[in-house]
Amino acid sequence: MKDLKNYESMTIQEKWNTLAVIANLYYNSEMTQNEIADRMYTSRSKISRMLKEARALGVVEISIKEPWERDLELEMKMEQLYHVKNIRVVMAKESNKDQVMRRLSEVSAYYLDSVVKDRMVVGISWGNTLYHIVRYIDANNKKNIPITVVPIMGASNVKRPERDAMDLAKDLASAYGGTYQYIYAPLFVKNKELKESLVQDDTIQHALSLAQNADVILTSVGSIEYKTWEHYLGENTFELLSKQGAIGHIGGHFFDKEGKEIHTVLAERMIAIEFEDFVKCKNVVCIAYGKTKGKAVHGALRGGFVDTLIIDTDCAEAALAYDGE
């Protein structure tokens, strides 16, 4: 092999052969970049650049075999239609709810591990889907990464507090060996004046500021048609929202089929991040399950405030069918 000092003047074939040798030493012989640099009488940084070049030119092709079955055809359709950055559609045919939820949890945990970095702020919503995902991560993906997890909304006052954002923030932070913050306030308060007073509290203000500037937001979407939150807001409120064109909600904010926020008096007394905070976040990860969430997923994708989507085939097909309508 020619001297690496003359690498830039080599022919394409010579470069290809050189890159193949270095890639073999690194990937097959499992030598470190420093060891290869010593053997080649060059620097580690040059070996690093050449390994990157080997991947860019196709000398090295890395194939990751994920431990679950995905519907790649549906993923391609949704990518082309909605232009979503990242998408995982988990196969759900002939599977029961528990099996699908476990697969979604596995995929979500795998994906989150790939994006979480030191001192990252992760915002989290609440609900049944996120509860199962956080529980899976806590049981199977223990890490030691100093992240901060914060709820994106106040406490929901649900009957099962382990599914609320406060408990989920604490459990997710524990799974990653990080820290957590609470929003010490309910999601909805009695009136606008009380909200404005509470958000001036230093502790609440600090937690909200963290959530508004989160690096990643982990959330799901709710359905208007199937009255997610009916026990919380009441049937009359849902009827009114439906008449206004609402098809789904995210983080307490309701949106129509184009993903535009529907302004209601609820927002005036809600303690949570703003709708615009979803839009400006670099990575809003939305996880949803089943046909009932199809319309809401469609609206969220049309609105462009979801960056990563992890769903099952039933949900994907329902979203695409609604777009066809």
Q: What is the DSSP secondary-structure string of 131-155?
A: HHHHHHHHHH-------EEEESB-B
CATH 1.10.10.10 maps onto the chain at 4-57
Q: Which amino acid is at 107?
A: V
Confidence check: pLDDT of 67 > 60? no
- Give, for 181, the enclosing helix (H) or strand (E): none
CATH 3.40.50.1360 maps onto the chain at 72-324
Order the strands of the 86-90 sheet from edge to edge.
86-90, 308-312, 284-288, 216-219, 121-124, 148-151, 179-180
Confidence category of residue 108, pLDDT binned at 50, 70, 90: very high
Q: Which CATH number fits domain 4-57: 1.10.10.10, 1.10.4160.10, 2.30.30.240, 1.10.3720.10?
A: 1.10.10.10
The C-alpha atoms of residue 148 and residue 144 are separated, in whole angstroms, by 12
Confidence category of residue 64, pLDDT binned at 50, 70, 90: low
Contact between 299 and 322 under an 8 Å Cβ cutoff? The reply is: no
Confidence check: pLDDT of 161 > 60? no
Q: How many residues does the chain have?
A: 325
Range 72-324: architecture per CATH: 3-Layer(aba) Sandwich (3.40)
Confidence category of residue 176, pLDDT binned at 50, 70, 90: very high
pLDDT value of residue 70: 85
Q: Which two tokens stand for residue 114?
A: 């790939």
Tens digits of per-residue pLDDT, 136-148?
888 887 778 899 9
